[in-house]
Homo-oligomer: A and B are copies of this chain.
Amino acid sequence: MKRVFLKDIAKKLDVSIATVSLALNGNIKLGRISDELIAKIKQTALEMDYQPNVIARSLRSGKSNIIGLIVADISNPFFGTLAFFVQEYAAQKGYSVIIGNSNEQTSKLQNSIKSLKSQPVDGLIIVPTENCEEFLAPYINKKFPIVLVDRYLPSLEVSHVVIDNQDAAYKATRILIDKGCTRVALLIYKNNQTHMIERKEGYRKALTEAGCFNPNLIKEINYLDIKNDVSLAIRELISSPSSIDGIFFASNSLSTHGFSALYKRNKSFSSDFCISCFDKHDALDILPLNIPYVHQPIEEIGRQSVDLILNLIEGHNDIKKIKLSSKIVID
């Protein structure tokens, strides 16, 4: 019951290895094999349960049929779900996926890329970290296939798949305004990445239009000290003389800690206080408020990322920048 190779099929049918290979891969232009022989070879391959040796094929072709996916944190359900769909869709296209983590740190992103490149992957779908441009630029310049996802890097000409974050944040803020809120706070990560900048801008735009933008209500949270920072921010916001009447949490991890901090400070989740947030969250079903959230089309993001990276891998060098729209959902 040992593994079957082309050699074994060739021996059995008393033909050459090349003939078997050509018959199975059916590139009619090159060598030509008679229809009968092709049929016989295919039949025998089936009977003997021939499985091509992917590694030998890779060595010959210079392609591994593996793509790398580097996310910020695979234990975060948003990235977990993205990984799920990327994996599903890539499998359909005959590719495997190796996942790496950056933990939002450029140094760890660097390690992941190096380790994946040496594996080696044919291309990378990357959730870029803050200030990773300098490190990524050489790969881009060398035309190594890279697609950014979730965020992009304005200074680099790279394909990416993102959502319209400004629009999403605008809608999420607007829904609070429409409910009558005038003092709406924003909890957002303190960083210079596109998704955060755009979410902040959407928030600002909605409130400015409504004539009640107040920059003091923006609380910027440090990713590495999220629990503490969110807790402090919530305390400040709640204990301020003219208290807030709404909060927009600009990411799922911020709302996780935000909800917890609000609860611990005994802030009554009553209807005179409105919340909106990014991404579906387990607590949304529990809280005695109908909390609207931005629903990102994760499956679509995954599918498009795979499409783009496969496009690059196949040698089409056109850069595509895809911006998907999202909608507000109220369960």
A residues with CB within 8 A of B: 1, 51-56, 58-59, 64-66, 73-77, 79-81, 83-84, 87-88, 91, 96-101, 115-120, 142, 256, 259-260, 263-264, 281-283, 285-288
Contacts and interface: CB of A to CB of B under 8 A. Distances in A.
A264 B282 contact: no
B119 A66 contact: yes
A59 B259 CA distance: 53
Given A55-B58, A286-B286, A76 B66 contact: no
Give the copy number. Answer: 2
Contact of A80 (B58, B75, B98, B259): B75
A1 to B, nearest CB: 7
Most buried by B among A80, A120, A259: A80
A73 B84 contact: yes
Contact of A283 (B53, B59, B84, B283): B283
B75 A81 contact: yes
Contacts of A264: 285
Contact of A59 (B59, B260, B287): B59
Contacts of A118: 51-52, 54
A56 B54 contact: no
Contact of A285 (B51, B115, B260): B260
Contacts of A59: 53, 55-56, 59
Contacts of A76: 77, 80
Given A80-B74, A84-B74, A263 B286 contact: yes
B83 A74 contact: yes
A281 B56 CA distance: 46
A287 to B, nearest CB: 6
Given A74-B80, A259-B286, 17 more contacts: A1-B142, A51-B117, A51-B118, A52-B118, A53-B120, A54-B119, A54-B120, A55-B55, A55-B59, A74-B81, A74-B84, A76-B80, A77-B77, A80-B83, A87-B101, A96-B116, A256-B282
Contacts of A256: 282, 285
Contacts of A260: 285-286
Nearest to A260: B285
